[in-house]
RNA sequence: GCCGCGGUGGCGGAAUUGGCAGACGCGCAGGACUUAAAAUCCUGUGGCCGUUAGGCUGUGCGGGUUCGACUCCCGCCCGCGGCACCA
């Protein structure tokens, strides 16, 4: 049969084969699995949005599809499932607008997704499809909640939460971006509410440590590390001057967390967060009004105001004092909103000389500044014209001198590196010998990177240790006509160094000092070593309808009217189904609250019932709870006795390859790891990381280089592309665009190029012959097989496709292609372009299906050439190439070169030296 | 500010991890086929000089190591992503 241009109907035969694949069920997950040959290849399951599949989905899904198909051909048993992360706000918001039930819109969207995915020829096992919104799924989401509750990892507390006034719901910290709701960009405010939390903080250390054992992108691991935010330090107790807790005889104290216990001698005041519970107890009568006013104001501030944009530090004095445990010094206690209640102990010891924030605060309010760490070496910059005589020689007495630049007006600029013990002498010397106020700028300055609280200017040294000093300095500088923007603002010295003004710590160097002071604090029982984390417990309550209900019942009979007992729904009563009789309008409370049916319940413990006596929790769970365990469900999706059987989990987990967008760096990936660890501790599984190997797909940008967006009208819809060029083109083009992880712009012209390539493949069929391949051809296909295998395994599909193109270009120029070579080529291209290869396989009488064939072998011996072309360089410049026998030695190659006329002109004399790298290069130095 | 990633032709991107920079594709230019267009095929294509042979130069910038650097080291510049008053 002669394939011609006109016969190339990729869209048509794609449909034909898709139908046949489905009918024959060739992508069903195998039942008998050899544990050593299992492969779990997972995509991040999509939220079934009404817009349908995006080209970004196609990229990730194609990559895992190729991988799965390849592994199947390598005779691995592959689990490659898909499902729907179906709960969530968009469907509910749509319901609020239109009154259409979220389940209806969601199921419809799922149908669209299924059709789209099928039209791409992705090899999912549809028998394992799951949806988080279906009761047989969320039954187990609720089961997980109960498991966490049983293990003491789910708890309820009143807490200030992030409240989005527009979505009328609580947000997790992770969902607040720059103080705004990640979904609607509305500014988030603080609100006290009764909320359910998962105690992920219990797992902070393990979540951090276990990152070392998984193969994930470094950036993603780093993202998680930052999010967990572990810092080593100490807790130090400062007793409160003349104060006792009212309910005991114990002396009152404040605990602070610090990462710099070595600077404790420089602690000149304490700062508590405005909402710190001690504040009201210690504030003196005189200061109460100001303190309360400040607390009120702080409470009103949004997260946005309180953080980044609010640079100016504010605070008020409480009237109370604390005692610094290392020197007995009486220091004031302030409150300020630059201290967060949610981190550390909600209180700090302020060391203004060595913390930028404390320094700004201290300068503003005139608080004491004591330097306790000096840099081992300070840098001073002195200008030549500011001194008389040999400046370099004079300065050399005080430290290492280096010329950093020369200026025709000012002369040389010297940098003096002075050790801390000589710094005082240098300053004295400069004070005494500087030319003062001379017209041409007898000025000099010191930019002492270390002790920058000193500003040295025109022969005067300003020790900016107090607010007044700074003002004095500015005043003086201004009077000399220096523009305001030239002023050096004092910088706290935050680096390591040598302790000064620190009694028994003096002359010790920083990392060591920390150990010593911590030991001292522990001995005196006024402090201890401690790590602090940025990670906070995971708030999972949502005042929303379209989510899994929290399986909790409140009973006033088991508890009391004031404090109803929390009664978990017994497992046998799961799932707690979403009620139908609801109104979707957001009120700030869950719509479930207004469902009569839903609320009517009998206490499973005491059997009490009745309105206001027994009722259900009406909040639903954050959708991230649904997606924190779905990968387990895929191993056993129909099980109604367990979330998944031990056997199924043992067979398939952990996931061998997980591909998805980088936007889930912290949320989903961290929560899934947390759930996995909880399951391990509860004895359900025996591993503690769910995803062994993770890769991200990059963003696909529009043709104009911008993000695809309805607003710009530059969105590429995969459906349109499939209709125009066929699924194989779309798949292969997306793989050919560039490395999977990179962001890259779409190019319709580039897509056409891939289409042309596939057409060439199609036409190659005419040239198939029974002739046996010769040695060169045999080598070529062996190399291609080896390259393709490796390329798929490293997910560098783009270079594999480039090799395919080279191969096809080669045979397009030949008269014929041997059948045995052609067959193997079709086999290795099958994972990339499943439809066209199936069609061509069929045309040469191959057994159905090509996708069930074995991956062709390659002989490692065959991929090494025996004739090799190497570069010939003279004096480092490549002047040509020479074909040699593989493994030839230097002498042989050199002889050959001397016999070739084209190199003769370069050989002007005996070589001084010859550099020879076997089978690579020969470089002759003349 | 801190952390992470990156910077190679007109464009997307290759480069066996220190050994012929620019594979493959797009675009562009010239040519073939055609009444014409599309499709297809052939040739060329980093820059500069040269009619050719060839020469010089070239991987963000400045240094260094090396026979040899896109690749390793030091110092910068720019872009992207994340975190951000975290003590």
Q: Give residue-wise pLDDT tens across range A808-819.
A: 999 998 889 999
**How many Å apart are CA A833 and CA A731, to the nearest integer?**
7
Phi, psi of A233 (to 5 degrees): -175, -145
Sign for the CA dihedral angle at A911, A913, A918, A919 comes to negative
With CA atoms as reference, report the closest residue to A751 among A770, A773, A732, A775: A732
Whether residue A862 contacts residue A782, with contact meaning beta carbons closer than 8 Å, is answered with yes
CA-nearest of A484, A482, A515 to A499 is A515
Query: Using the CA of A219, which nucleotide's C1' is the nearest one?
Result: B4
Cα–Cα distance measured from residue A339 to residue A316, given in angstroms and rounded to the nearest whole number: 12
pLDDT digits (tens, 9 = 90+) for A356-367: 889 889 888 989
Nucleotide closest to A749 measured between CA and C1': B26
Q: Checking phi first, is residue A845 left (phi over 0); if not, alpha (psi -120 to 50) or beta?
A: left
A88 has a pLDDT exceeding 50:
yes
What ranges in A30-133 are assigned the alpha helix state H?
Answer: 55-73, 89-98, 102-119
Mind listing the pLDDT tens digit for each residue in A695-739?
999 999 998 888 888 888 889 999 999 999 999 999 999 999 999
Residue labelled with tokens 């899994």: A548
**Residue A459: per-residue pLDDT:** 41
How far is the C-alpha of A81 from the C-alpha of A61, rounded, in Å? 11
On strand B, nucleotides with any atom < 7 Å from a protein CB are 3-5, 11-16, 19-21, 23-27, 39-42, 55-56, 67-68, 80-87
| Partner residues linked to A882 by β-bridges | A870
CA angle in degrees (0–180, nearest 5) for A844-A849-A853: 90
Q: Å between A414 CA and B63 C1'?
A: 21
pLDDT at position A260 over 80: yes
C-alpha distances in angstroms, A511 versus A496, A497, A506, A517, A744? 7, 9, 13, 11, 45
Estimate in Å the CA A865 to C1' B72 gap, whole number.
30
Q: Are strands A411-419 and A377-383 parallel, antiparallel or unpaired?
A: antiparallel
Query: What does the alpha-carbon distance between residue A434 and residue A425 come to, in Å, rounded to a whole number?
Result: 14
Assess contact for A110 and A519: CB atoms under 8 A.
no
Nucleotide nearest to A666 (CA to C1'): B82
- CA dist A107 and A104 (Å) reads 5
Tell me the two tokens of residue A79: 């689990």
Average pLDDT, chain A: 87
Top pLDDT among A774 and A437 is at A774
More confident residue, A810 or A544: A810
Tokens 């280089």 correspond to: A705
As a rounded value in angstroms, the CA-to-C1' distance for A747 and B26 is 8
Percent of chain A topping pLDDT 90: 57
CB A354 under 7 Å to nucleic chain B: no
Residue A759 CA to B27 C1' — how many Å? Answer: 20
- Report the range out of A373-377, A436-440, A471-475, A618-622 with the highest average pLDDT: A618-622
Q: For A165 and B65, how far is CA from C1' in angstroms?
A: 61
* Average of per-residue pLDDT across A773-785: 93
Give CA–CA dist A740/A288, Å, rounded. Answer: 60
Task: Name the residue with higher pLDDT: A298 or A569.
Answer: A569
Rounded to 5 degrees, what are φ and ψ at A26?
Answer: -75, -10
* Residue A438, pLDDT above cutoff 50: no
Say yes or no: Cβ of A491 under 7 A from any atom of strand B: no
Query: For A755, left (φ over 0), alpha (ψ -120 to 50), or beta?
Result: alpha
Say if residues A549 and A106 touch (Cβ distance below 8 Å). no
Give me the A residues in range 122-181 that sit within 7 A (CB) of strand B.
177
Considering only CA atoms, give the Rg of chain A.
Answer: 36
pLDDT at A460: 46
CA atom of A728 to C1′ atom of B38, Å:
23
Q: Within 10 A of A348 (CB to CB), how many other CB atoms are there?
A: 26
**Span A344-359, pLDDT tens digits:** 999 999 998 889 889 8
Given a cut of 60, whether residue A12 has pLDDT beyond it is yes
Of the candidate ranges A3-17, A38-52, A602-616, the one whose mean pLDDT is the lowest: A3-17
CB atoms within 10 A of CB A520: 17
* CB A265 within 8 Å of CB A505: yes
CB distance A222 to A307 below 8 Å:
no
Residues 256-295 of A with CB under 7 A from strand B: 257-260, 273
Burial A822-861 (b: 16+ CB within 10 A, else e): bbbbbbbbbbbbbbbbbbbbbeeebeebbbebebbebeee
Helix intervals (H) in A434-560: 467-479, 510-523
Q: Is pLDDT above 60 for A330? A: yes
CA A142 to C1' B71 (Å) is 53
Q: H-helix or E-strand containing A649?
A: helix A646-652
The span from the CA of A917 to the CA of A294, in Å, is 75
CA dihedral A397, A403, A407, A412 (to 10 degrees): 20
End-to-end CA distance of chain A: 61
* pLDDT at residue A544, rounded to an integer: 85
Span CA (A343) to C1' (B76), Å:
37
- Residue A338 Cβ < 7 Å to strand B: yes
Q: Which phi and psi angles does A82 have, rounded to 5°?
A: -145, 155
Question: Stated in angstroms, how far is A712 CA from B5 C1'?
Answer: 28
Q: What mean pLDDT is predicted for residues A666-671?
A: 92
Q: In this structure, are strands A347-350 and A269-272 parallel, antiparallel, or unpaired?
A: antiparallel
Using DSSP's 3-state secondary structure scheme, residue A659 falls into strand
pLDDT at A449: 32
Instruction: Identify the CA nearest to A188 among candidates A336, A304, A72.
Output: A304
Residue A275, pLDDT above cutoff 60:
yes
Alpha carbon distances (Å) from A693 to A215, A404, A808: 5, 49, 33
Report which of residues A369 and A30 the model is more confident about: A30
Task: Give A498-534 pLDDT, tens digit per residue.
Answer: 898 899 999 888 889 999 999 999 999 999 999 999 9
**A591 is written with which tokens?**
């719509």
C-alpha distances out from residue A566 to A196, A344, A552, A702, A745, Å: 12, 30, 7, 52, 53
**Nucleic strand B contacts from chain A, 811-840, CB < 7 Å:** 812-813
Task: Pick the closest to residue A582 from A527, A620, A538 (CA basis).
Answer: A620
* pLDDT at res. A250: 66
How long is the CA A780 to C1' B18 vector, in angstroms? 28
Ordered alpha helix ranges (H), A737-855? 748-764, 775-793, 797-813, 819-829, 834-843
Give Cβ neighbours of residue A779 (< 8 Å, ≥ 6 apart).
Answer: A862, A863, A865
Q: According to the model, what pLDDT value does residue A487 have? A: 55
- pLDDT band, residue A107 (cuts 50/70/90): very high
Cα(A730)–Cα(A736) distance, integer angstroms: 10
Provide mean pLDDT across the span A574-592: 81
- pLDDT at position A863, please? 85
Nearest-angstrom CA–CA distance, A636 and A649? 8
Residue-level pLDDT at A178:
67
Collect all residues with Cβ–Cβ distance below 8 Å to A382 and sequence separation of at least 6. Answer: A391, A395, A413, A414, A416, A430, A444, A446
- Scanning residues 18 through 47 of protein chain A, those with a beta carbon under 7 Å from any atom of strand B turn out to be none
> A226 CA, B4 C1': separation in Å?
10
Query: How far is residue A81's CA from residue A79's CA, in Å, rounded to a whole number?
Result: 6
Q: Per-residue pLDDT averaged across A412-421, rounded?
A: 73
pLDDT higher than 60, residue A2 = no
Q: Which of A163, A154, A205 is nearest to A186 (CA)?
A: A163
Instruction: Check: CB of residue A708 under 8 Å from CB of residue A702.
Output: yes
pLDDT value at residue A726: 94
Q: How far is the CA of A180 from the C1' of B81 (A)?
A: 19
Residues in A 857-886 whose C-beta is less than 7 A from nucleic strand B are: 869-871, 873, 876-879, 881
Q: Count H helices, E strands: chain A?
A: 29, 40
Strands A657-661, A38-43: pairing is parallel
Q: CA-CA distance, A406 to A142, in Å (whole number)? A: 73
Distance CA A613, CA A598 (A): 14
Nucleotide nearest to A868 (CA to C1'): B20
Stated in angstroms, how far is A449 CA from B63 C1'? 25
pLDDT tens per residue, range A873-886: 888 888 888 888 88
Find the nucleotide nearest A221 (Cα to C1′): B4
Question: Would the Cβ of A777 be found within 7 angstroms of any atom in strand B?
Answer: no
Q: Identify which of A614, A549, A535, A616 has the alpha carbon closest to the alpha carbon of residue A578.
A: A549
Whole-structure pTM value: 0.89
CA of A879 to C1' of B49 (A): 19
Q: Is the CB of A753 within 7 Å of strand B? A: yes
**Of A279, A210, A197, A204, whose CA–CA distance to A532 is shortest?**
A204
Residue A532, CA: closest nucleotide via C1'?
Answer: B86
DSSP H or E stretch at residue A263: none
For residues A227 and A533, what is the distance between their CA atoms, to the nearest angstrom?
9
Strands A454-457 and A445-446: antiparallel
Look at residues A430, A421, A429, A478 and name the one whose alpha carbon lies nearest to residue A450.
A421
Residue A442 beta carbon within 7 A of nucleic strand B: no
Residue A764 has pLDDT above 50, yes or no: yes
The most confident of the ranges A245-259, A760-774, A855-869 is A760-774
| 3-state SS, one letter per residue, for A530-578 | EEECCCCCEECEECCCCCCECCEEEECCCCCCCCCEEEECCHHHCCCCC
């Amino acid at each position: 049969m002669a394939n011609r241009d006109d016969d190339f109907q990729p869209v048509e035969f794609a449909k034909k084969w898709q139908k046949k694949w489905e009918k024959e069920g060739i992508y069903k997950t195998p039942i008998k699995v050899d544990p050593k040959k299992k492969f779990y290849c997972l995509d991040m399951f999509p939220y079934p949005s009404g817009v349908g599949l995006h080209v970004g989905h196609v990229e990730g899904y194609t990559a895992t599809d190729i991988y799965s198909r390849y592994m199947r051909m390598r005779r691995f048993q592959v689990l490659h499932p898909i499902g729907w992360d179906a709960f969530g706000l968009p469907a509910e918001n749509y319901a609020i607008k239109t009154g259409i039930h979220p389940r209806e819109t969601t199921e419809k969207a799922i149908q669209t997704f299924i059709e789209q995915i099928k039209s791409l020829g992705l090899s999912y096992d549809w028998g394992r499809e799951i949806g988080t919104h279906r009761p047989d799924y969320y039954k187990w989401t609720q089961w997980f909640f109960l498991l966490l509750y049983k293990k003491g990892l789910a708890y309820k507390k009143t807490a200030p939460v992030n409240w989005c006034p527009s979505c009328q719901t609580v947000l997790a910290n992770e969902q607040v971006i720059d103080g705004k709701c990640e979904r609607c960009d509305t500014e988030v405010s603080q609100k006290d509410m009764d909320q359910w939390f998962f105690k992920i903080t219990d797992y902070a250390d393990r979540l951090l440590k276990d990152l070392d054992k998984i193969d994930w992108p470094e950036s993603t691991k780093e993202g998680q590390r930052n999010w967990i935010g572990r810092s080593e330090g100490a807790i130090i107790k400062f007793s409160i001057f003349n104060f006792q807790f009212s309910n005991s005889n114990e002396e009152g104290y404040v605990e602070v967390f610090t990462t710099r216990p070595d600077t404790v001698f420089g602690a000149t005041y304490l700062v508590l967060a405005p909402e710190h519970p001690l504040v009201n107890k210690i504030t003196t009568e005189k200061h109460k009004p100001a303190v309360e006013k400040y607390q009120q104001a702080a409470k009103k501030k949004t997260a946005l105001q309180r953080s980044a944009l609010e640079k100016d530090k504010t605070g008020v004095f409480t009237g109370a004092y604390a005692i610094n445990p290392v020197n007995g010094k009486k220091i004031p206690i302030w409150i300020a909103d630059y201290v967060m209640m949610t981190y550390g102990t909600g209180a700090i010891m302020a060391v203004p000389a060595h913390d930028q924030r404390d320094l700004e605060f201290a300068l503003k309010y005139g608080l004491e500044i004591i330097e306790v760490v000096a840099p081992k070496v300070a840098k001073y910059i002195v200008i030549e014209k500011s001194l008389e005589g040999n400046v370099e020689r004079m300065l050399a007495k005080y430290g290492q001198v280096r010329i950093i630049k020369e200026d025709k007006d000012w002369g040389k600029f010297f940098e003096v590196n002075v050790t801390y013990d000589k710094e005082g002498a240098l300053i004295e010397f400069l004070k005494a010998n500087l030319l003062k106020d001379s017209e041409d700028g007898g000025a000099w300055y010191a930019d002492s990177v270390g002790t920058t609280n000193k500003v040295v200017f025109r022969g005067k040294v300003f020790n900016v240790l107090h607010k007044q000093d700074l003002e004095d300095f500015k005043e003086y500088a201004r009077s000399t006509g220096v523009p305001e923007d030239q002023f050096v603002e004092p910088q706290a010295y935050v680096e390591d160094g040598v302790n000064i003004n620190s009694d028994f710590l003096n002359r010790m160097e920083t990392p060591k000092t920390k150990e010593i002071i911590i030991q001292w604090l522990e001995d005196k029982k006024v402090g201890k070593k401690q790590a602090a984390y940025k990670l906070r417990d995971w708030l999972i309550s949502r005042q929303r309808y379209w989510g899994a209900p929290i399986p909790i019942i409140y009973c006033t009979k088991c508890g009391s009217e004031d404090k109803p007992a929390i009664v978990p729904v017994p497992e046998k009563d799961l799932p707690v189904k979403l009620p139908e009789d609801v109104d979707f309008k957001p009120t700030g409370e869950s719509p479930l609250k207004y469902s009569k049916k839903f609320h009517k319940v009998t206490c499973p413990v005491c059997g009490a019932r009745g309105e206001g006596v027994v009722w259900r929790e009406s909040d639903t769970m954050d959708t991230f709870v649904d997606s924190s365990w779905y990968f387990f469900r895929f191993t056993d999706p129909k099980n109604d006795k367990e979330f998944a059987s031990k056997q199924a989990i043992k067979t398939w987990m952990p996931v061998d390859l997980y591909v998805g967008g980088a936007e889930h760096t912290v949320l989903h990936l961290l929560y899934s790891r947390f759930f996995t660890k909880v399951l391990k501790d509860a004895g359900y599984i025996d591993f503690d990381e769910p995803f062994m190997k993770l890769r991200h797909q990059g963003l696909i940008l529009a043709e104009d280089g911008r993000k695809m967006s309805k607003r710009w009208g530059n969105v590429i819809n995969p459906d349109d592309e499939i209709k125009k060029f066929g699924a194989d083109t779309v798949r292969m083009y997306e793989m050919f665009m560039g490395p999977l992880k990179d962001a890259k712009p779409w190019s319709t012209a580039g897509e056409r190029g891939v289409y042309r390539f596939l057409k060439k493949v199609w036409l190659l069929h005419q040239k198939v012959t029974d002739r046996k391949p010769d040695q060169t051809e045999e080598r070529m296909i062996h190399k291609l097989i080896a390259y393709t295998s490796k390329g798929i395994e490293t997910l560098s599909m783009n270079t594999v496709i480039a090799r395919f193109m080279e191969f096809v270009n080669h045979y397009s120029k030949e008269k014929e292609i041997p059948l045995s070579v052609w067959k193997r080529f079709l086999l290795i291209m099958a994972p990339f372009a499943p439809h066209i290869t199936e069609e061509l396989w069929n045309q040469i009488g191959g057994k159905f299906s090509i996708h069930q064939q074995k991956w062709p072998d390659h002989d490692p011996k065959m991929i090494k050439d025996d004739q090799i072309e190497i570069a010939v360089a003279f004096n480092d410049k490549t002047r040509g190439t020479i074909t040699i026998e593989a493994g030839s030695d230097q002498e042989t190659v050199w002889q050959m070169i001397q016999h070739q006329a084209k190199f003769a002109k370069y050989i002007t004399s005996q070589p001084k030296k010859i550099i020879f790298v076997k089978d690579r290069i020969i470089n002759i130095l003349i």
